[in-house]
Amino acid sequence: MAGARIPRFAFTLALIVVPVFASHAGAQATNQTPGVTITPPVVVVGSPELIRVAAPADATLEGEWLGKKLEFFRGRDGQAWFALAGVDVESPEGASTLRISVRATGATGAIDLSRNVEIHPAHYRTTTLTVAPKFVAPGPEELARIKAESELKAKVFAASAPEPLWSGNFRAPVTAAPTDSFGTRRVFNGALASVHKGMDFRALVGTAVRAGNSGVVVLAAPLYYEGNCVVIDHGLGLYTISMHLSRIDVKEGQRVKTGDEIGLSGATGRVTGPHLHWAVRWQNAYLDPAKLLRMDLSGVR
């Protein structure tokens, strides 16, 4: 059913877009089929998505998806624009509209490249866990600390760099077995339910934790639930978060490169035992880290 729509879409697009861009883009850009590519093409709840838009370097792009503004950057090959986006782990499945418009320099109107994107269910598991009672029913002092920390995190997540700071593929933060734990619905001590918004690695206390990509450390502090926590800003609203560390080896404001050691794994905060919890956040959406690690971004920037 989707297959029947794509050729017509591409054909219509070619008719509309080529004449407009031809005068501005020169010989190089006329070799490509203008349009939008989403990778991976089957979109599921919790999935990061790379959006590629073939448009000239001097075009102006605007986009919006699932209530979030898309921030485009120019790809390394000089042929296309990209946005690294995704669907939150708690986002509903079903139809969505990916809105993209492209305005060529000097053109009076924008070209609408919007398309429908079906979001498929992901079938995450449910597990039960037991943690210390103070993490399920925090007292007044602890609640005040949790509130202050939540405000601190909101500030950190509202101030991402205005350009991408990452480069090439993301790499796993530890040399340890990953678990299939992202998206799991969890029942703590038989009561509190929450969704697991990251990926756990079975890392022993003292295992080196490394930056998954280049960026800037925007938070490096002990937090109530997260334990010793390091947040790296990769720009344009994309962050990786490492939790439960036994030691933090970076400072806020510090620039890191892919593979730089940021601390040692541990068992601080709300844990059932030693492990590294690693989360990927884009704007306010939590995305599956395993899928980000599998993305081929080597030619993107």
Helices (H), the chain: 2-29, 140-157, 289-294
Decide whether 168 or 274 has the Cβ nearer to Zn ion.
Answer: 274
Contact window for Zn ion (CB under 5 A) among 54-62, 158-166, 200-208, 233-241: 200-208
- Considering only residues 63 to 82 of the shown chain, the ones binding Zn ion according to CB under 5 A are none
Contact window for Zn ion (CB under 5 A) among 23-31, 36-44, 142-150, 272-280: 272-280
Q: How far is the CB of 232 from Zn ion (least distance, A)?
A: 17
Q: Is 277 in the site for Zn ion (CB under 5 A)?
A: yes
Q: Give, in order, the Cα–Cα distances in Å from 242 to each of 55, 150, 203, 211, 228.
A: 36, 16, 12, 9, 8
State which residue has the least CB distance to Zn ion.
277
Q: How far is the CB of 294 from Zn ion (least distance, A)?
A: 19
Contact window for Zn ion (CB under 5 A) among 38-46, 86-94, 139-147, 192-200: 192-200
Q: How far is the CB of 126 from Zn ion (least distance, A)?
A: 15
Q: Is 49 in the site for Zn ion (CB under 5 A)?
A: no
Tokens 């969505």 belong to residue: 96
CA atoms within 13 A on the CB side of 156: 25
String of contacts with Zn ion for each residue 229-268, x by CB under 5 A: ----------------------------------------
How many CB atoms are closer than 10 A to CB 139?
Answer: 9
DSSP3 helix / strand / coil % (the chain, rounded to 5): 20, 40, 45
CB 296 within 8 A of CB 169: yes
Q: How far is the CB of 82 from Zn ion (least distance, A)?
A: 29
Contact window for Zn ion (CB under 5 A) among 62-70, 133-141, 182-190, 271-279: 271-279
Contact window for Zn ion (CB under 5 A) among 18-26, 103-111, 274-282, 289-297: 274-282
Q: Is 281 in the site for Zn ion (CB under 5 A)?
A: no
Decide whether 88 or 200 has the Cβ nearer to Zn ion.
Answer: 200
Decide whether 49 or 200 has the Cβ nearer to Zn ion.
Answer: 200
How many CB atoms are closer than 10 A to CB 153?
Answer: 17
Token pair of 94 as six digits: 């079903």
- CA nearest neighbour of 241 among 271, 259, 267, 262: 262
Decide whether 52 or 275 has the Cβ nearer to Zn ion.
Answer: 275
Residue 63 has phi, psi (to 5 degrees) of -150, 155
Local structure of 74: helix, strand or coil: strand
Contact window for Zn ion (CB under 5 A) among 8-16, 35-43, 118-126, 196-204: 196-204
- Considering only residues 20 to 39 of the shown chain, the ones binding Zn ion according to CB under 5 A are none
Buried b (16+ CB within 10 A) or exposed e, 171-208: ebbbebebeebbbbebebeeeeeebbbbbbbebebebb
Q: Is 200 in the site for Zn ion (CB under 5 A)?
A: yes
Residues contacting Zn ion: total by CB under 5 A: 2
Decide whether 73 or 225 has the Cβ nearer to Zn ion.
Answer: 225
Question: What region does 26 belong to: left with phi over 0, alpha with psi -120 to 50, or beta?
Answer: left
- Contact positions vs Zn ion (CB under 5 A): 200, 277
